[in-house]
Chain A
Amino acid sequence: MNPTPILVIFIGSIFTNNILFASFLGMCSFLVCSNRIPTAIGLGGAVTFVMTFTTAFNYLIYHYVLVPLHLEFIAFIIFIAVIAAFVQFVEMFVERFSPQLYYALGIFLPLITVNCAILGASLFMVLREYNFIQSVTFGFGGGLGWALAIALMAGLREKMGYSNVPVALRGTGAVMLIAGVIAMVFMGFAGMMSLQ
């Protein structure tokens, strides 16, 4: 059992242990889709939604099906399958009930399936021995943290459009350096919650 209190997990997963700036998960989509704010926010919201629910499902499946049957070794495959199925389901749901959102998100929706942050959240949940409430909190907070990261980056990149960045540094290189500075800033949040 992990002794960390829920609130610490929640705030921690958004700031000090931000799933992107501290655990490096979800970088691929982050690098590609962080250049415009509306896209970034939309993707961030979708990732948060998927991360919360898949962490919950995967917890239940892991602890109530896999562990009792000593099948922990296929956990990774099951997790990915759950994520893929859930994203598929969300895609169908969004297409049916909000065609504008579906059109806006476009190819990004299926991309969420291979976003390592989503699988990573489930893996960390198992590794850190979270219970159910802790897992869901972590999934939700992690998603919010990732959304925050990509929104921040999108805002900065839009502003950067007016700057004179060296040619070889444009694009990925610049994003990395900026991410490094933001990571330093987020490290500063450590200890902001005082415990009894």
Chain B
Amino acid sequence: MSSDSQSRQSTALPVSRVKYIGILQDGVYRTNPVTYQVLGICIFLAVTTKVENALVMGFALIFVTAMSNLLVSLLRNTIPRRIRMIAEVAIIATFVIFFDQFLKAFYWDMSKQLGPYVALIITNCIVMGRAEAFAIQNPPLPSLVDGIANGIGYALILVLIALFRELIGFGTILGYTVLSPAWYERNILFIMAPGAFFVAGFLIWVLNFINPPKPAEVGK
């Protein structure tokens, strides 16, 4: 992963000082995976066209990050150094495929809408990042909470952006018409690629304005 994001992630906490609330807060907003760590952008841009899609993808991320964090943490003293990353990828991939298979079996329409982006969770820097930065050094329960927290942080942003894009682009939320086509001219650009980039850019602008990153990390 980029050395940039590594320097921002929390280091191993001594077991006795573990505060679950703290882990939760970090994952959800203090070091939010998307807006602060700037990870998992690919998926974020692609699935936020509808709130429904964002919800399902968000859930997928919570599931995969939590479960892989848990398993990696349980195995942290057993995994040999040399194949550490490969083992992490294998574990993550297994959970992603679980989810993908279940989606194809029981929620076929959504599977088609999300397309290859479910599989891309495997290369999503967030999942791998948490496994490397937290789960490999911490006990199972805090790792599980960290996984859930980061997953929730990601899901929140996904849904927030999707709310904007679906509303401005289609005039609906979760398929229910909020802005009636009778008077609202749908702005399709927000559903398409440029819209995704613009919304993401403005979101980051607003968030950096509210919570400025430290001077050393401001962009080049």
| Chain A residues whose CB sits within 8 angstroms of the CB of B204 once the complex forms | 169, 172-173, 176
Q: Does A131 have its Cβ within 8 Å of any Cβ on chain B?
A: no
B192/A187 in contact, CB under 8 A: yes
Number of B interface residues at 8 Å Cβ cutoff, please give it. 49
Binding site for A on B (CB under 8 A): 1-4, 38-39, 41-43, 45-46, 86, 89-90, 93-94, 96-97, 100-101, 115-116, 119-120, 122-125, 128, 189, 192-198, 200-202, 204-206, 208-209, 212, 218-220
- Which one, A23, A114, A168, contacts B212 given CB within 8 A? A168
CB closest chain-B residue, reference A22 = B193
- Which one, B122, B192, B212, contacts A80 given CB within 8 A? B122
- Which one, A80, A111, A127, A179, contacts B197 given CB within 8 A? A179
Q: Does A93 have its Cβ within 8 Å of any Cβ on chain B?
A: no
Q: How distant is A103 from chain B, measured CB to nearest CB, in Å?
A: 17
B123/A119 in contact, CB under 8 A: yes
A28/B2 in contact, CB under 8 A: yes
| Chain B residues whose CB sits within 8 angstroms of the CB of A23 once the complex forms | 46
Binds B, one of A45-53, A71-79, A135-143: A71-79
Known A24-B41, A168-B209: A115·B201 in contact at CB below 8 Å: no
Q: Does A99 have its Cβ within 8 Å of any Cβ on chain B?
A: no
Known A84-B86, A123-B119, A167-B218: A24·B38 in contact at CB below 8 Å: no
Q: How far is the CA of A115 from the CA of B2 in the complex (A)?
A: 11
Q: How far is the CA of A59 from the CA of B127 in the complex (A)?
A: 27
| Chain A residues whose CB sits within 8 angstroms of the CB of B189 once the complex forms | 184
A173/B205 in contact, CB under 8 A: yes
Number of A interface residues at 8 Å Cβ cutoff, please give it. 47
Q: How far is the CA of A173 from the CA of B201 in the complex (A)?
A: 4
Q: How far is the CA of A174 from the CA of B90 in the complex (A)?
A: 35
The 6 closest A-B pairs by CB, nearest first: A171-B219, A180-B197, A176-B201, A123-B116, A177-B201, A27-B41
B120/A120 in contact, CB under 8 A: yes
| Chain B residues whose CB sits within 8 angstroms of the CB of A74 once the complex forms | 97
B2/A180 in contact, CB under 8 A: no
CB closest chain-B residue, reference A180 = B197
B42/A28 in contact, CB under 8 A: yes
Q: How distant is A133 from chain B, measured CB to nearest CB, in Å?
A: 21
Q: How distant is B41 from chain A, measured CB to nearest CB, in Å?
A: 4
Residue-wise, chain A 115-128 has the 8 Å CB interface mask toward B (1 for contact) of: 11001100110010
